[in-house]
Amino acid sequence: MTEKARNCVGYLPLSYQSLLSLWFDSLFTQEPCPYVMVLQLRAASLQYAPFLVLPEAELMARSKTSKQWMDEHVNDPYVKKAQIDGYRSRASYKLLEINEKDKLIRPGHTVMDLGSAPGGWSQIVAPMVGESGRVIASDILPMDGITGVTFIQGDFTDEAVYEQILQALDDAQADVVISDMSPNHSGVKTTDQYASMYLVELALDMARNVLKPGGSFVAKVFQGVGYEDYVKDVRSSFEKVLVRKPSASRPRSREVYIVAKGFKG
Ligand SMILES: C[S@@+](CC[C@H](N)C(=O)[O-])C[C@H]1O[C@@H](n2cnc3c(N)ncnc32)[C@H](O)[C@@H]1O
């Protein structure tokens, strides 16, 4: 670690692990934290681990709002609970709550998990489907292995990756497609909204391609431009469509989960 890096870390009131988890979480929540945005920029330009390069001046100049944001994330009860329960991400609780309410995943099911890293959803789905079931997971980021989960790494918007995921199904159909994909936020709201709508549209396209009649689809969607049309589009292919806001989803985040049941085929 360089002298400069040591100085920077010295100003952070966070453990190494909390900061990394904060950084990872912030990539996908569309709740940009000023610290983390700076971290990402520096990381991109210096090709350095992100937590090493936050300059002193930016830390010193942090506003009250930033501090509140930081406190909120660091003290997040779901982050702490996930560490205790051994879940890879706090996102596990969102799917657990949705599944508890909507009874989507059963033993023997084939489930496709899109945007699966670091594996919080896959790790709870694998035991739900059991040995007679299958989980096909995919993410642009790497993911540590999980028993019973076939993982394909690649950009879902890339046609070749889309095909690879289809091939992993071996011509079988899926019972449930779940998508927690959200793009790395740029901090520019409109750009982020378009990017995330594009991903959920592709996820819906995949669901239409692979689901058995009667199958279910869950997708994280950010309320904003294109949201209403998207829900309408989902309704055209499923018998029942609900919008869920699990308690682990931060109240001020515009994310909601579309839960669609009864694929019309
Ligand atoms: C909120 S995280 C998913 C968390 C996961 N459900 C869990 O429980 O651990 C969103 C994921 O979407 C992925 N993602 C974003 N854009 C993607 C793309 N173009 N192709 C594949 N995955 C993508 C990110 O890499 C990230 O891992």
115 lines ligand 1 (CB under 6 A): yes
Q: What is the pLDDT of residues 16-37, one digit of tens each?
A: 445 555 555 555 555 544 455 4
CA atoms of 101 and 118, how far apart (whole Å)? 24
Check pocket membership of 151 for ligand 1, CB cut-off 6 A.
Answer: no
Q: Which pLDDT score is estimated for 24?
A: 58
The predicted structure's pLDDT at residue 1: 37
| Residue identifier of the C-alpha nearest atom 27 of ligand 1 | 117
Report the mean per-residue pLDDT for the chain. Answer: 83
88 lines ligand 1 (CB under 6 A): yes
Taking the domains of the chain in order of start, what are their residue ranges? 3-75, 88-263
The CA 181 to ligand 1 mean position distance, Å, reads 4
State yes or no: pLDDT of 68 exceeds 90: no
Its pTM stands at 0.80
| Mutate which of 22, 28, 157, 165 for ligand 1 pocket (most atoms within 8 A of beta carbon) | 28
Q: Which atom of ligand 1 is nearest to the CA of 143?
A: 27
Ligand 1 pocket residue status of 180, Cβ below 6 Å: yes
Q: Is the pLDDT of residue 73 over 90?
A: no
Position 262 scores a pLDDT of 98
Res 185: pLDDT: 80
Fold of the domain spanning 88-263: Rossmann fold (3.40.50)
Which of these is catalytic: 64, 220, 232, 264? 220
- On the question of pLDDT at 12 being above 70, the answer is no
Residue 218 beta carbon below 6 angstroms from any ligand 1 atom: no
- The percent of residues in the chain predicted with pLDDT above 70, rounded, is 73
Is the pLDDT score of 47 beyond 70? no
Query: Does residue 29 line the site of ligand 1, with CB under 6 A?
Result: no
pLDDT, position 44:
43
Residue 8's pLDDT band (cuts 50, 70, 90): very low
For position 48, what pLDDT does the model report? 37
Among protein residues, the one with the nearest Cα to ligand 1's atom 10 is: 181
Cβ–ligand 1 distance for 158 under 6 Å, the answer no
pLDDT digits (tens, 9 = 90+) for 133-164: 999 999 999 999 999 999 999 999 999 999 99
pLDDT at 205 over 90: yes
Whole-angstrom distance, CA of residue 112 vs CA of residue 90: 19
220 is catalytic: yes
Q: Please report the pLDDT score of residue 28 as a whole number.
A: 58
More confident residue, 39 or 86: 86
55-64, 213-222, 227-236: least confident range:
55-64
Q: Which of 111, 135, 180, 184 has most ligand 1 atoms within 8 Å of CB, for mutation? A: 180
